[in-house]
């Protein structure tokens, strides 16, 4: 049995392939056998071997997926709901799109961390070179020419040392905070990192859009599988993976228990932006709630991607500017004495 879960891209590919096979009229057990490769060692191949044995023994696809241990809980629950409602084909294609979107968002978030980290490393390297090689070289030359740098007119070169040291210290602090954040995130302390980053409005917007993207994607899929609205909302809450949003979603669920529709409950709790809330109300009245939720999922994905791109485009010039200004001022500090000496000789 496989030990690790499939990544989002692997789950998307599996669901897409299974959806096409089921759509063509092939039975589930035959579809799993067709997907199973002769290769060994890959996560999906190991899982398919287990699934093939399970479905041949009469187990359902969702049960076989659970036994394989390589699929996320959300994927398995949705497949089970699709089997119960007789909409397995539709659910498979929806899951394929959902996990493909998750992969895209994850890549964008990774770039938000990777690019600034690369720039920070570059800034640190340049400043270390300035402090250990460039400035000491000029310092040695001027001390030979003037006898003592502190007693000469060129003492302000020390300002270059101070400037580089201060910027280097700040950059190191930022790098350590970034590294600590990544470690906490991977250690399961995601809420701690998110709570700290939410103090910055642009990051709060990213997390809110990402949580709503996950929630609306899960909700539309649960509704498509035939679940009742109140049950679909309750099952979709954990999919948002956001403590910040969870309380508001629970209040929506409580309103629905009182008899309100999902669109009205979301509107009363300001779950969506006003324009999105009106879209949901209109979709519910026209009987196209699933389509509207699908469109909202796409809009949140686009907004999240655009916000992440804005973060990257903001961090890039800031770090580049810090590097250019620091190096420029440092070089100017060590070059001015040389210019003064040349003018004196001339």
Going by C-beta distance under 8 Å and a sequence separation of 6 or more, which residues neighbour residue 111?
308, 312
Does the pLDDT of residue 247 top 80, yes or no?
Answer: yes
What integer pLDDT is reported at residue 334 of this predicted model?
A: 66
Query: CA 161, CA 149: separation in Å to the nearest integer?
Result: 13
- Three-state helix/strand/coil letters over the chain: CCCCCCCHHHHHHHHHHHHHHHHCCCCHHHHHHHHCCCCCCCHHHHHHHHHHHHHHCCCCHHHHHHHHCCCCHHHHHHHHHHHHHCCHHHHHHHHHHHHHHHHHHHHHHHHHHHHHHHHHHHHHHHHHHHHHHHHHHHHHHHHHHHCCCCCCCCCCHHHHHHHHHHHHHHHHHHHHHHHHHHHHHHCCCHHHHHHHHCCCHHHHHHHHHHHHHHHHHHHHHHHHCCCCHHHHHHHHHHHHCCHHHHHHHHHHHHHHHCCCCHHHHHHHCCCCCHHHHHHHHHHHHHCCHHHHHHHHHHHHHHHHHHHHHHHHHHHHHHHHHHHHHHHHHHHHHHHHHHHHHHHHHC
Contact 45, 36 (CB under 8 A): yes
Q: What is the pLDDT of residues 318-341, one digit of tens each?
A: 777 777 777 777 777 666 666 655
Query: CA 199, CA 216: separation in Å to the nearest integer?
Result: 25
Does the pLDDT of residue 148 top 50, yes or no?
Answer: yes
Give Cα 296 to chain centroid, integer Å. 19
Does the pLDDT of residue 200 top 50, yes or no?
Answer: yes
Look at 344 and 159; give whichever has higher pLDDT.
159
What integer pLDDT is reported at residue 54 of this predicted model?
A: 87
Query: CA 223, CA 335: separation in Å to the nearest integer?
Result: 70
Give Cα 157 to chain centroid, integer Å. 44
Band (239; pLDDT cuts 50, 70, 90): confident
Does the pLDDT of residue 37 top 70, yes or no?
Answer: no
What integer pLDDT is reported at residue 153 of this predicted model?
A: 46
Going by C-beta distance under 8 Å and a sequence separation of 6 or more, which residues neighbour residue 81?
91, 222, 225, 226, 227
Contact 280, 296 (CB under 8 A): yes
What would the two tokens of residue 340 be? Answer: 């003064």
Does the pLDDT of residue 278 top 60, yes or no?
Answer: yes
Q: What is the pLDDT of residues 89-118, one digit of tens each?
A: 888 888 888 888 778 777 777 777 777 778
Look at 72 and 151; give whichever has higher pLDDT.
72
Can you say whether the dihedral through the CA atoms of 179, 180, 186, 190 is positive or negative? negative
* pLDDT more than 90, % of the chain: 0
Does the pLDDT of residue 71 top 70, yes or no?
Answer: yes
Going by C-beta distance under 8 Å and a sequence separation of 6 or more, which residues neighbour residue 154?
142, 146, 337, 340
Query: CA 280, CA 267: separation in Å to the nearest integer?
Result: 9
Query: Domain coordinates of the chain in residue numbers?
Result: 8-71, 101-346
State which CATH number among 1.10.3720.10, 3.40.50.300, 1.20.81.30, 3.90.1150.10 fits the domain covering 101-346.
1.20.81.30
Does the pLDDT of residue 53 top 50, yes or no?
Answer: yes
pTM over cut 0.85: no
Q: How many CA atoms lie within 13 A of 221 on its CB side?
A: 30
């Amino acid at each position: 049995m496989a030990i690790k879960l499939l990544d989002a891209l692997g789950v998307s590919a599996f669901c897409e392939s299974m959806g096409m096979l089921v759509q063509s009229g092939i039975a589930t057990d035959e579809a799993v056998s067709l997907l199973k490769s002769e290769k060994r060692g890959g996560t999906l191949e190991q899982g398919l071997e287990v699934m093939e044995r399970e479905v041949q023994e009469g187990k359902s696809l969702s049960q076989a997926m659970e036994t394989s241990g390589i699929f996320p809980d959300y994927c398995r629950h949705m497949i089970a709901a699709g089997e119960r409602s007789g909409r397995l084909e539709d659910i498979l294609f929806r899951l394929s799109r959902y996990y493909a979107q998750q992969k895209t968002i994850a890549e964008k978030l990774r770039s938000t961390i990777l690019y600034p980290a690369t720039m920070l490393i570059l800034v640190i390297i340049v400043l270390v070179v300035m402090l250990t090689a460039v400035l000491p070289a000029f310092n040695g030359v001027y001390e030979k020419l003037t006898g003592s740098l502190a007693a000469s007119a060129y003492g302000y070169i020390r300002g270059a040392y101070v400037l580089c040291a201060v910027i280097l210290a700040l950059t190191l602090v930022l790098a350590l905070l970034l590294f600590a954040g990544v470690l906490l995130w991977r250690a399961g302390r995601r809420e701690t990192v998110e709570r700290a980053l939410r103090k910055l409005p642009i990051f709060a917007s990213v997390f809110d859009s990402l949580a709503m993207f996950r929630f609306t994607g899960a909700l539309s899929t649960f509704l498509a599988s035939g679940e009742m609205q109140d049950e679909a909302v309750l099952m979709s809450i954990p999919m948002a993976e956001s403590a910040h949003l969870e309380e508001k979603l629970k209040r929506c669920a409580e309103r629905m228990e009182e008899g309100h529709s999902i669109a009205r409950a979301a509107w009363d709790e300001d779950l969506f932006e006003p324009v999105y809330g009106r879209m949901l109300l209109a979709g519910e009245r026209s009987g196209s709630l699933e389509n509207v939720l699908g469109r909202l999922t796409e809009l949140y994905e686009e907004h999240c991607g655009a916000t992440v791109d804005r973060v990257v485009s903001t961090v890039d010039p800031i770090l580049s500017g810090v590097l250019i200004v620091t190096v420029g001022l440092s070089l100017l500090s060590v070059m001015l004495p040389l210019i003064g000496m040349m003018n004196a000789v001339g």
